[in-house]
A = this chain, B = another copy of it.
């Protein structure tokens, strides 16, 4: 498991390359808009930390992702002068493939079920290092820097609400927050349609959902499930889990555009939806984790 010093070291490492996102007042609470990072999501923090800590840079890195992690690794690799190979499933939108290529990465398109296998082959063939999307201490420590910034900017914070999927983000944030201010509540937010962590929380052990069931939520970046490593952090540090409906997620996306002037993807708005349900006073912070929404989809949310 990671600890506070890992997060503090990560913060120093990545500071020159990430946006120091401000807290934005929103309703009676606050937003931490990680959608404003260069690649449009918090994932950049973890990828930058992992790349900075890479020992052998010559053989490159490999990642498999159809989403924000792909661009995060490509961006961080380019910055550190490391070759990047990204494995993407064949149903990835062309715009994301193009964006990843534009960041200088070599993209491999494979069948949906072949991602992990192809990534492992690339690692073996090249002697490259795999950068996983969440199941890695350096990645978790990088995401945790968000927690440090929240505490620094809002000393009166009482609750931090964080979206959960593989759990890398909340593992890092909760580790940092609980180490510095144990009284601050860390709450995970999940779509009710992919509420495996809520179930795990109730059961007291990792409960797994069928991946097909988890894929029904519109929050397409929240369809993953925790690893043993992230569950160890979640079960130790997270105070509560709130689930939200698909309608609440879409309402939060529209609300963020109208009242905070932020473009958020559905996954990025889940913590905002959870915070709206929690109510509370002025000490609540919701992490807006990403803003990579298809423009036509956003247009549809706004028009209705």
What is the minimal beta-carbon distance from A93 to any residue of chain B, in angstroms? 13
- Which residues of chain A from 7 to 47 have any CB-CB distance to chain B below 8 Å in the complex? 19-25, 33, 35-36, 38, 40
- Which residue in B25, B38, B262, B298 is a CB contact (below 8 Å) of A38? B25
* Contact indicator B291/A298 (Cβ below 8 Å): no
Residues A20 and B19 in contact in the complex (CB < 8 Å), given A257-B298, A261-B35: no
Most chain B C-beta atoms within 10 Å of own C-beta, residue among A20, A21, A292, A298: A298
Whether A203 sits at the interface, judged by CB under 8 Å, is no
- Which residues of chain A from 115 to 167 have any CB-CB distance to chain B below 8 Å in the complex? none
- Interface size for chain A: under 10, 10 to 19, 20 to 34, or 35 or more residues? 20 to 34
- Per-position binary interface string of chain A over residues 212-245, scored 1 when its CB falls under 8 Å from any chain B CB and 0 otherwise: 0000000000000000000000000000000000
* Contact indicator B291/A302 (Cβ below 8 Å): no
Q: For the complex, give the distance between the alpha carbons of A291 and B21 in Å.
A: 18
Q: For the complex, give the distance between the alpha carbons of A152 and B33 in Å.
A: 22
* Contact indicator A295/B291 (Cβ below 8 Å): no
28 A-B contacts, Cβ less than 8 Å apart? A19-B22, A19-B23, A20-B22, A22-B36, A24-B36, A24-B38, A33-B36, A35-B261, A36-B260, A36-B261, A36-B262, A40-B261, A254-B295, A257-B263, A257-B295, A261-B262, A261-B291, A261-B292, A262-B262, A263-B263, A295-B303, A298-B299, A298-B302, A299-B302, A299-B303, A300-B303, A302-B302, A303-B303
